[in-house]
Amino acid sequence: MTDGKSTITNGNAVLGIEFGSTRIKAVLVDENNTPIASGTHDWENRLENGIWTYSQDDIMTGLRGCYKSLNDDVYEKYGVKIKRLGAMGISAMMHGYLAFDRSGRLLVPFRTWRNTMTGEAAEELTELFDFNIPQRWSIAHLYQAILNGEEHVGRIDFLTTLDGYIHMLLTGEKVLGVGSASGMFPIDTAKKDYNSEMLRKFDRLTEPKGYPWKTRDILPKVLMAGDRAGVLTKEGAALIDPEGLLEEGCPLCPPEGDAGTGMAATNSVAPRTGNVSAGTSVFAMIVLEKELDKVHSEIDMVTTPAGDAVAMVHCNNCTSDLNAWVGLFGEFAQAFGIKADKGALFETLYKKALEGSSDCGGLLAYNYFSGEPITGLSEGRPLFVRSPESRLHLADFMRAHLYSALATLKVGLDILMREESAVVESITGHGGFFKTKGVGQKFLADAMNAPVSVMETAGEGGAWGMALLASYMLRHSSGETLEAYLKNKVFIKTAAETIKPDENDAKGFDIFMDNYKKGLPIEIAAARHI
């Protein structure tokens, strides 16, 4: 405890903050990258005028609330409060659309990754670039606004993502880490910058509109892991800490998306490694040895925080429907006078799923709260479906919902593994889906038909990954790559548990998937009629 206290009082602690879909988390680490304090703030997106968004007030309140929670934890543990930091970094959900005018005013409400309103733009740009442009990417949102004739486009001075926006507020710098930037506009992995030929194509496409900007001019500057990305200003310090204790001047690393922090937090930045982050959304990141042979709408090409090519399979929906069903069972228990602990409820029901049939006994679940481009859905309707012959047992029911959380991901991964022959030697799982030991991990191993590991540090999540990137900026030696830093200075003693796929259960998952794909028209009809 005294070591943690001295690290904090001497101003050597490094802070990572990540804005997730439902929770903002801060993690403070010492000189050995060991977490010494943390803080959280719950928040939730809202559907306003058909758009999933968070308000600027939500963002500011969340930033301050999370930092206060961290400071409270520091005070409770060490009897001091944070005055100086060695370094810090900001991370957030990738993609989306935050457009500002010259005075810094937000032109339209923040459009998050969750929106599936840019189908026309994404399709046209994918054809123009011969490169998959997903609906949630910033450039797709920009072009859809152009196609829609939205008045604000001509007044855009700067376009960024949530992590870039918060970083700008704290430092005044309009920059992004390359991983986060790769979710705005395609990156040339050789030059570690936006693809210049695609920029020219987009400018030619929009030239007849007569806008006063060129695309590169309104995008953030691209920085690599290890680069310095500005310092905390006096105004930024006051913004994050209204108490006025936090001093200005600490360096910030490039802001990164949650995909990049997930790679850092799972030591998955080297070729042939990968990770799956599973919570409100689910995505797999596979670091490639070479570019893909074909363009696939189900697979996004992004980068590691060091700028190396990554195949990303991103699904908008994962645990929301699953969590709702667990909540329903909690209400059932309360009706009988049983006050079930939330954690115990999840663990009991998740473990019950292990007793289910490998193919879920013919039960089907669709976890679509929102649209899902991989399966062609612009809107979602959570569904549970069975035939009169299906066996309705709790174990099969829970297993079907856990399978459903991974089903859309498997559609994309099957393309990557079977059609593109991508080689993956290690997969690491992290996020709430893996919290119950040996359940989500096992089902992912069966779905991928590959070994899956979960590290003892998995619970630290992306905020810790962001702190690692800030620490790398501050402490790496000359010529030391991010891969080497993580391998030799962070994960050298980290324990992990690995589960191999069960042959019978992997076949059962494939049977479930066959039924799942056949039943997709049911989901499409539900979205159309309900």
| Model pLDDT for residues 366-402, shown as the tens digit of each residue | 999 988 989 988 899 999 999 999 989 999 999 999 9
Is residue 418 pLDDT above 90, yes or no? no
Length of the chain: 530
SS3 495: coil
Alpha helices in 354-434 (DSSP H): 394-414
Q: What is the pLDDT of residue 116?
A: 84
Distance, CA of 131 to CA of 150 (rounded, Å)? 25
Of 108-117, 137-146, 231-240, 491-500, the one with minimum mean pLDDT is 491-500
- For the chain, the structural domain boundaries read 2-257
Is residue 281 pLDDT above 90, yes or no? no
Higher model confidence: residue 521 or residue 460? 521
Task: Give 215's pLDDT tier (boundaries 50, 70, 90).
Answer: very high
Task: Give 109's pLDDT tier (boundaries 50, 70, 90).
Answer: very high
Q: What is the DSSP letter of 210?
A: T
Is residue 494 pLDDT above 70, yes or no? yes
Task: Give 349's pLDDT tier (boundaries 50, 70, 90).
Answer: very high
Task: Give 458's pLDDT tier (boundaries 50, 70, 90).
Answer: low
pLDDT digits (tens, 9 = 90+) for 293-302: 899 988 999 9
Q: What distances in angstroms separate CA 113 from CA 52, 117, 316, 423, 459, one per listed residue?
A: 8, 10, 8, 28, 24
Residue 465 sits at φ, ψ, to 5 deg, of -60, -40
Task: Give 326's pLDDT tier (boundaries 50, 70, 90).
Answer: very high
Q: What is the pLDDT of residue 443?
A: 97
Q: Are strands 221-223 and 282-287 parallel, antiparallel or unpaired?
A: unpaired
- Tell me if 99 sits within 8 A of 152, measured CB to CB: yes
Is residue 1 pLDDT above 60, yes or no? no
Helices (H) and strands (E) in the chain, counts: 18, 22
Q: What is the pLDDT of residue 423?
A: 85
Q: What distances in angstroms separate CA 84 from CA 7, 44, 76, 242, one per listed residue?
A: 10, 30, 18, 15
Q: What is the pLDDT of residue 2?
A: 55
- Tell me if 360 sits within 8 A of 449, measured CB to CB: no
- Tell me if 190 sits within 8 A of 47, measured CB to CB: no
Q: By percentage, how much of the chain surpasses pLDDT 70?
A: 99
Q: By percentage, how much of the chain surpasses pLDDT 90?
A: 87
**Angle, alpha carbons 286-139-137 (nearest 5°):** 40
- Tell me if 309 sits within 8 A of 287, measured CB to CB: yes
Is residue 159 pLDDT above 80, yes or no? yes
Distance, CA of 101 to CA of 154 (rounded, Å)? 9
pTM of the model as a whole: 0.85
Question: Helix 440-448 and helix 394-414: axis angle, to 10°?
Answer: 40
Q: What is the pLDDT of residue 279?
A: 85
Q: What is the mean pLDDT of the chain?
A: 94
Specify burial of residue 289 (Cβ count, 10 A radius: 0-12, 13-18, 19+).
exposed
Is residue 216 pLDDT above 90, yes or no? yes
Q: What is the DSSP letter of 450?
A: S
Q: What is the pLDDT of residue 214?
A: 97
Q: What is the pLDDT of residue 459?
A: 59
- Tell me if 177 sits within 8 A of 254, measured CB to CB: yes
| DSSP string of 260-309, one letter each residue | HHHHHHTT--STTEEEEEESSSEEEEEE-SS--SS--TT-EEEE-TT--E
Note every long-range contact of 476-485, with CB atoms under 8 Å and residues 24 or more positions apart, other chains counting. Answer: 476/226, 481/306, 482/225, 482/226, 482/264, 482/269, 482/304, 482/305, 482/306, 483/269, 483/270, 483/306
Mean pLDDT along residues 160-186: 98
Class of domain 2-257 as given by CATH = alpha beta
Q: What is the pLDDT of residue 457?
A: 66
Task: Give 460's pLDDT tier (boundaries 50, 70, 90).
Answer: low
